[in-house]
Amino acid sequence: MARVSSKLGVTGAVIAALVLLLCALIAGAAIGETSIPFVVVVKTIANRMFGAGYPLEALDEGIVWSYRLSRAVIAACCGASLALAGAVLQSLLRNPLADPYILGISAGASTGAVAVALLGFGAGLLTMPMGALVGALAAFVLVSLLAMRAGSGSNAIILAGVAGSQMFNAITSFIVTKSATAEQARGIMFWLLGNLSGVRWPDVGLALPVTIIGLLICLWHVRALDAFAFGNQAAASLGIRVRRVQIILICTAAAMTAAMVSLVGSIGFIGLVIPHAARLIVGVRHGRLLPVTALVGAVFMILADILSRTIITGQVLPIGVITALVGAPAFAFILGQKRARP
């Protein structure tokens, strides 16, 4: 009976999160400098996706479909991917503070993307997402090596991540200062703080498949992720091919992070805060945790984007500012809880 009740609770949480995601997508398309009624948003979606033929103002329909809805979908993909990456890294590293932003993966991805865009690294063979992936993997390798040299303490990887993040941020700033025009520099620095202003439907062609494939890969390895909670040796004793699974999941987390950074810049603390919030809802079993984490992350990012567009009249804040205002206090709280444990 308890198991049935638990399953019903998880199912209810997933359904509630899906409903919230749908509502958030509609709100993201309706709310902005020019408010558009929710019913117009729904009719626009019906017209564009199902050929419903509702008579609508061309301007309203264009704003909803061409600008706001694509932006909301990208925000959802970004929130889901970064939250999933955080949940996976926290499990693999057995550290509640693990997050792509804190570990320097986002900073490495930013450096890779900027190097391709401004310096032409890859001789035209590398796109910005591929450059971001190379940078993200390089950052994780560097941080891991620094952590190994620093010792086996649980905070070593976090301290190494902070150091790696600062180093890659410095490299990015150097590249921008040396190679970008003043106008390019302003645009890149705003993008680095998290910017959804330039995303359109073609970008969904990258963000949505990466998010879905990343989620499926993570769900395929839920048994291994549960086993890692008890340590690598315990996972190996259960038949988990530890090194192989670690490489697959780290590359998956890096790829999700890199794809989102290449589209919207470096957005912090989503991967830290959202997995902990999801654990409060459905517990620590990854078969339940990962879908809810993705959905909650998607909803949170859409709401953060709405807030970034409306909190100051006539201006758009970088979305990274909004997430940092939420994430920084949460980071301090989680750190305090971690130190309070015996």
Output the pLDDT for position 110.
Answer: 94
Six-digit token pair at 227?
Answer: 């086993």
258 Cβ partners below 8 Å, 6+ apart? Answer: 109, 112, 113, 129, 132, 133, 135, 136
Residue with tokens 């409903």: 19
Residue 92: inside a domain, yes or no? yes
Neighbouring residues of 170: CB distance < 8 A, sequence distance ≥ 6: none
264, 199 Cβ separation under 8 angstroms: yes
Taking 70 as the threshold, does the pLDDT of residue 312 lie above it?
Answer: yes
- Burial level of 14, CB count in 10 A (0-12/13-18/19+)? middle
Q: How far apart are CA 263 and CA 210, in angstroms?
A: 12
pLDDT over 80 at 306, yes or no: yes
pLDDT of 218 reads 96
| pLDDT tens by residue, 166-225 | 999 999 999 998 887 888 888 888 888 888 988 999 999 999 999 999 999 999 999 999
* Beta carbons of 128 and 262 less than 8 angstroms apart: yes
pTM for this structure? 0.92
60 located within any domain: yes
Task: Summarize the confidence of residues 230-255 as an average pLDDT.
Answer: 91
Q: How confident is the model at residue 153 (pLDDT cuts 50, 70, 90)?
A: low
User: Tokens 């419903």, residue?
Assistant: 52
Is residue 340, in this structure, part of any structural domain at all?
no
Flag whether 229 is in a domain. yes
Average of pLDDT values for 30-52?
Answer: 92
User: What is the span of the domain harbouring residue 182?
Assistant: 2-319
Ramachandran sector of residue 194 (left: φ over 0; alpha: ψ -120 to 50; beta: rest): left
Does position 4 have pLDDT exceeding 50, yes or no? no
pLDDT digits (tens, 9 = 90+) for 76-115: 999 999 999 999 999 998 888 899 999 999 999 999 999 9
State how many domains the chain has.
1
Q: What is the pLDDT of residue 45?
A: 94
| 328 domain residue, yes or no | no
- Whether 68 is covered by a domain: the verdict is yes
d(CA 161, CA 266): 15
What whole-number percentage of the chain has pLDDT above 90? Answer: 58
Rg from Cα positions in the chain: 20
Tell me, yes or no, whether 327 lies in a domain: no
71: domain CATH number is 1.10.3470.10
Q: With bands split at pLDDT 50, 70 and 90, how would you rate the model's confidence at 124?
A: low
Lookup result for tokens 């809802």: 281
| 72 belongs to a structural domain | yes
Give the pLDDT confidence score for residue 330 in this predicted structure: 80
User: Residue 246 above 70 pLDDT?
Assistant: yes
As a whole number of angstroms, the distance between CA 291 and CA 229 comes to: 18
CA distances to 115, 191, 219, 270, 337 from 109, in Å: 10, 13, 24, 16, 30
